[in-house]
Homo-oligomer: A and B are copies of this chain.
Amino acid sequence: MAGNSFGEIFKITTFGESHGPAIGVVIDGVPPNLPLNESDIQFELNRRRPGQSVITTQRQEADTAHILSGVLAGRTTGTPLAILINNTDQQTRDYEALKNIFRPGHADFGYQTKFGIRDYRGGGRSSGRETACRVAAGAIAKKILRNHNINIIAYTLAIGDITAKKIDLATIEKNPVRCPDPEAALLMAQKIEIARNQQNSLGGIIQAVAHGCPAGLGDPVFDKLNACLAHAVMSIGGVSGVEFGDGFAAAARHGLEQNDKFYMDGDKVRTMTNHAGGILGGISTGADIILRVAFKPTASISQPQQSVTVDGKDTSVEIHGRHDPCICPRAVVVVEAMIAVTILDRLLIQKIIRESPASV
């Protein structure tokens, strides 16, 4: 209801503010007997960690995951898994000047209106820092999915007006923007540097692929797999659009060219094309699930912007905290996490349906 939980079976509940003592996540519905230790989670947290390159925020957080419950001797027990991440490098003084000002492009005004109070320190609950908790949960989801030969990979497809021209997955983690096209990656990194030097910021597009999903995931009508995935990724701060398969381009097409025709590949049903992005009628088809997520430019910029105060006066504001000039390189990890949590949830729901006791 209050919005801090996601998922039905594999259900995550996150808590914590950017400048509070800690953030964390409670995951209920973790399957029992899963080998798990903190390094499984740390690996993904390190990918999302601030300060990992010159083009990300310079806030330094180790983002060390502490598992508080739900694991005994390296195996999950089926009880809730609580993961705690302490905040260590808060610089609250950066935000004192912003205490009474609504930052343009930020949630400040909405939170103040909604709750009549807001934690102004680093955006409080609306900070991107909260996504570390999603990544921690996503690390576990990804591990379980890999046991099912389902792999989720995301990458930066575009930054500003620069778009990857080829997709070489092996190169993604080798450049700071996480772009699968090394040449485009160079241009993107330069563009981000320039934006930062100009006290400006950039948007971008992340593409994600879930490979190996069995057919049959997703539920009729309101919990279609694409609807759940759209909910999942649109809940990441700064996302302004999501599309599946051919997405908006499909709107300009005719049915005959757009429909993915079926054929038999041995005893497997396959489609000759994948315009639909692996989902038909809200249910996975077994083809790659493909989506693109648009991110608007980072709202925090240090140029003066016109704004207003909490008590209703016009003012000007410059935002001098530490920020990512472009969120995409780190958001790649968050997009993967949200997709993993969503697909695992639907995979577990499907367990009930196909293993159901009706016909025994």
Could you give, for residues 70-103 of chain A, a 1 whenever the CB lies within 8 Å of some chain B CB and a 0 otherwise?
Answer: 1010011111111010000000000000000010
Could you give, for residues 1-42 of chain A, a 1 whenever the CB lies within 8 Å of some chain B CB and a 0 otherwise?
Answer: 111111011010111110011111010111111100000000
Q: How many residues of A contact B (CB 8 A)?
A: 167
Contacts of A108 in B (CB 8 A): 281
Contacts of A29 in B (CB 8 A): 1-2, 352
* Chain B CB within 8 A of A303 CB: yes
Asked if residues A282 and B201 are in contact (CB atoms below 8 Å), the reply is no
Could you give, for residues 270-312 of chain A, a 1 whenever the CB lies within 8 Å of some chain B CB and a 0 otherwise?
Answer: 0110011101111111100000101111111101011110001
* Chain B CB within 8 A of A118 CB: yes
Asked if residues B282 and A107 are in contact (CB atoms below 8 Å), the reply is yes
* Chain B CB within 8 A of A45 CB: no
- Which 10 A-B pairs have CB atoms at the shortest separation, nearest pair first? A107-B281, A110-B283, A3-B219, A241-B243, A31-B358, A31-B356, A3-B223, A201-B255, A231-B231, A34-B358
What are 30 A-B contacts with C-beta separation under 8 Å? A2-B29, A4-B222, A15-B26, A15-B79, A16-B82, A17-B69, A21-B69, A33-B115, A76-B358, A78-B115, A105-B260, A105-B276, A109-B269, A110-B218, A110-B280, A125-B220, A126-B281, A144-B357, A144-B358, A200-B256, A201-B254, A201-B256, A204-B251, A224-B235, A231-B231, A240-B244, A248-B292, A251-B295, A261-B307, A263-B308
